[in-house]
Amino acid sequence: MPRILLAEDDDSLRGFLARALERAGYEVTACADGEEAAAVLDEAWDLLLTDIVMPGMDGIEVARLAAQRHPGLKIMFITGFAAVALSAGGRAPAGAKVLSKPVHLREIVAEVERMMAA
Q: What is the CATH number of the domain that holds 58?
A: 3.40.50.2300
More confident residue, 105 or 90: 105
Sheet bearing 74-79, strands edge to edge: 27-31, 3-7, 47-51, 74-79, 97-100
C-beta separation of 4 from 112 below 8 A? yes
Which domain does 71 fall in, by range? 3-117
Q: Is the dihedral of CA 59, 108, 98, 85 positive or negative?
A: negative
What pTM was computed for the model? 0.90
**Per-residue pLDDT tens over the stretch 41-99:** 999 999 999 999 898 999 999 999 999 999 999 999 988 765 555 555 556 677 788 88
CB atoms within 10 A of CB 116: 15
Query: Among candidates 51, 41, 48, which has minimal Cα distance to 11?
Result: 51
Q: Specify the number of domains making up the chain.
A: 1
Distance CA 55, CA 105 (A): 23
